[in-house]
Copies of this chain bind each other. A is one copy, B any other.
Amino acid sequence: MKGAPPIGNPTMTRPARKFSRIQPELRREHLVEAALRCLADHGHAGVSVRKIAAEAGVSIGLINHHYDSIDQLIAHAYETLAAGIFNRVTRAVDPTAGTAREKFSAFFRAYFSPDVFDPKLLGVWVVFWSMIRHSPAIKAAHDRTNAGYTRVLEGYLTDLAAENGQSPATVRLAVVGLSALLDGIWLQWCLTPEQAFTIPEAIAVAESWIDGLAHGAYGRLAS
């Protein structure tokens, strides 16, 4: 019974392949994808070696074979998801074509898309946030992502100031304001899907913020 080979009929009973070996790198990718599905479906309860292993169709022990602890896997998942979204959104803006003002419109179109504005995505993100304080790896991933957006928005806003003949002195706080506005709209939208504003309206709010900035309404930020 226990692994005993069938006697006399080696060709009849093909020993079914119990698992497949793949490159560690590829396996980790699969584990990350399974982890993200678990987080999206079960929220915080999805942070579970057993659930993720089942979702990936592998044994319990595999995760601890590829990661020192489950937190490392979650951190890797954060890194992967955040980088994917960041790349998708920022690549939607052609850095060589159009005015700075037009770049914002392109950015908003990419940001306010169903890919990003998805309650399940916030569900995943909330888990990440809740682990930031206790997991240095996740905190580091968060800081890296944040710095990326700050850098990109800072570039656009600097160009916009130059385009409008304004001083770039206000750019730093303008970045704070704009990224806060984008985060906040995303948060509200995902937390309350039945809420009272549409995606086009959300875009209009963001566009208006840029218009207000361009019209010099934010002079006091230069203080």
Contact = CB atoms under 8 A, between A and B. Distances in A.
Contacts of A44: 44, 130
Interface string A10-41: 00000000000000000000000000000000
Interface of A: 43-44, 119, 122-123, 126-127, 129-134, 142-143, 146, 172-173, 176-177, 179-185, 187-188, 191-192, 196-197, 201-202, 204-205, 207-209, 211-213, 215, 217-218, 220-221, 223
29 contacts: A43-B133, A43-B134, A44-B130, A119-B133, A122-B129, A126-B130, A173-B201, A173-B205, A176-B185, A176-B201, A176-B202, A176-B205, A177-B185, A180-B185, A181-B181, A182-B184, A183-B183, A183-B184, A183-B187, A184-B184, A204-B220, A204-B221, A204-B223, A208-B217, A208-B220, A211-B220, A212-B215, A215-B215, A215-B217
Given A176-B185, A176-B196, A180-B181, 18 more contacts: A43-B134, A44-B44, A123-B130, A132-B191, A142-B191, A146-B192, A177-B185, A177-B208, A180-B180, A184-B185, A184-B187, A204-B220, A204-B221, A205-B221, A207-B220, A211-B220, A212-B217, A215-B217
